[in-house]
Amino acid sequence: MLPRTQTHRPGVFADAVRDDLIWSAATAGGCVETMSSACKGPAAAWCPATYNQRMLRSSLLAVALEVSTMSALTAAPALAPRIDAAAARVEQNVIAVRRDIHQHPELGNREERTAKIVADKLRALGIDVQEKVAHTGVVGILRGGKPGKVVALRADMDALPVTEQVDLPFASKVRSTYNGQDVGVMHACGHDAHVAILLGVAEVLAGIREELPGTVKFIFQPAEEGAPQGEEGGAELMVKEGALKNPDVDAIFGLHVTSRFAVGEIAYKPGGMMAAVDSFKIKVVGKQTHGAYPWLGVDPIVVAAQIVLGLQTIPSRQVDASLAPSIVTVGAIHGGVRNNIIPDEVEMIGTIRSLDAKMREEIHTRIRRTAESIAASGGATANVTITTGYPITYNDPALTERSLPSLRTSAGAENVKLVNAVLGAEDFSFFQREVPGLFFWVGTRPKDQTPEQAASNHSPLFFIDESGLGLGVRALANVAADYLTHSVR
């Protein structure tokens, strides 16, 4: 290769690489001059000068494509250092907001105070705000400085009817009424952290709005744990009321803190990550009689016991367990009032979990068949009611793959883990039914504890190591910014 002097503009990487590649192509074989008189006619195709000119044209085309690719790859990471720095600046405020919300938890569809905190904060950042979406939900719209796609980020806001047992200066002392019962109220699933994290992300992205090509929607959702009896709520109602419209969302991201993973870790799974959840009620009707003379009646308690056992053969024997795990659990049985009276009827309730849509339908069919057939064999009848709940939380595989570099930038590649699906459920799945989505775990377990030692989500002892909240801010901000940046190319 012939020596050359540096002609590109100092500090402009793409120009430097382009010039180097062009010079390398032009000097291939040691010839850059035009064709001589000796290279005319049929022999011209094999003349070194002619060959080099053809190679030069091919190389220039390849260089143009490569420089275009490098420009795309080098522009997006430029935002990552700014996001990291901004996330570090807002971290203490994120912790303070989380503690405030933790100390003042609110049940589903009653998140009035939390919603006001969210709306006031978004407005202070110059973000357009829509309130009272699906009762108490809040939607913020941040328009970037350049045209582009629309990405949504979601946090749930509701607490649980759980009495807190964690010894914290900001522990919840709140009591409320839940379905007619007096209960303690606690953020036992980390939704206080989700709200605080997403408010931190809003502040980070508002600070770089001029560089963002597109729009970010911040969705603060009520009632993820379920609406009170007789009410609608949650993600399904937010979708109905247009949370993903005007402007239309192209992709959505969400996270969940968990004690299953240590601080600093992110876990994900493409495809089905969390189960669909449905509930069932089975009423077994027999014939009441004296407990000393069971042959004079039909014992619904014995029939119900046989149905409980029969239901367990559905996930273990009747559906393909190698395809995806599933669960049929009977959670409560009620029947009878005295020890010597065989009652007329028994009622049982339970939950169904599945990770495959076709299998979900098949399980429903088999529950009805199993209960009705066993009841008939004992001379009783079984009335089966199945209520569908949340769909499968399904991470779009292509969106998951393109988001992995953002997650690895945020946590370090060694801390981003591919994990198995779980049979818990999430109503984030209603958003994913409408647009491609990615939902992932953020670890908040203290590093000196094992998963077995740490209290799980929904426990009155559930504890969050707040040093893990900053990773949540970085991860959501990076996946949103990178999605918008890469989508315009």
84-142 pLDDT per residue, tens:
999 999 999 999 999 999 999 999 999 999 999 999 999 999 999 999 999 999 999 99
CA 224/CA 227 separation, integer angstroms: 8
Could you tell me the strand order of the sheet in which 266-268 lies? Answer: 128-133, 137-143, 213-221, 146-156, 251-262, 437-445, 266-268, 416-418
Confidence at residue 77, expressed as pLDDT on a 0 to 100 scale: 58
CA 315/CA 313 separation, integer angstroms: 6
Confidence of residue 283 (pLDDT cuts 50, 70, 90): very high
Of these ranges, 1-10, 52-61, 313-322, the one predicted with the greatest mean pLDDT is 313-322
Q: How far is CA 139 from CA 52, 247, 461, 467, in A?
A: 60, 12, 31, 27
Confidence of residue 19 (pLDDT cuts 50, 70, 90): very low
Confidence of residue 78 (pLDDT cuts 50, 70, 90): confident
Q: pTM (2 decimals)?
A: 0.83
Confidence of residue 3 (pLDDT cuts 50, 70, 90): very low
Exposure b/e, 303-336, CB count within 10 A at least 16 = b: bbbbbbebbeebbeebbeeeebbbbbebeebebb
Name the CA dihedral angle for 369, 371, 373, 374, rounded to a multiple of 10 degrees: 150
* 276-388 maps to CATH 3.30.70.360: yes
CA 337/CA 359 separation, integer angstroms: 38
Mean pLDDT computed over 281-294? 98
Of residues 439 and 64, more confidently modeled: 439
Confidence at residue 6, expressed as pLDDT on a 0 to 100 scale: 38
Both tokens assigned to 314: 């559905």
Cβ of 339: how many Cβ atoms within 10 Å? 6
Catalytic positions: 390, 466
Q: Using one digit for the tens of pLDDT, what is the confidence trace for 379-403?
A: 999 999 999 999 999 999 999 999 9
Determine phi and psi for 423, rounding to 5 degrees: -100, 10
Instruction: Answer yes or no: are the C-beta atoms of 380 and 274 closer than 8 Å.
Output: no
**pLDDT higher than 70, residue 445:** yes
Confidence at residue 30, expressed as pLDDT on a 0 to 100 scale: 42
Mean pLDDT computed over 412-422? 98
Mean pLDDT computed over 240-265? 98
List CB contacts of 89: < 8 A, sequence separation 6 or more. Answer: none
Per domain, the residue ranges of the chain are 13-76, 78-275+392-487, 276-388
Q: What is 78-275+392-487's CATH superfamily?
A: Zn peptidases (3.40.630.10)
Q: Give the chain's mean pLDDT.
A: 89
Confidence at residue 361, expressed as pLDDT on a 0 to 100 scale: 97
**pLDDT higher than 80, residue 50:** no
Please list the residues that pair with 382 across neighbouring strands: 284
**pLDDT higher than 60, residue 1:** no
Q: Using one digit for the tens of pLDDT, what is the confidence trace for 474-488?
A: 999 999 999 999 987
Confidence at residue 312, expressed as pLDDT on a 0 to 100 scale: 98
**pLDDT higher than 60, residue 4:** no
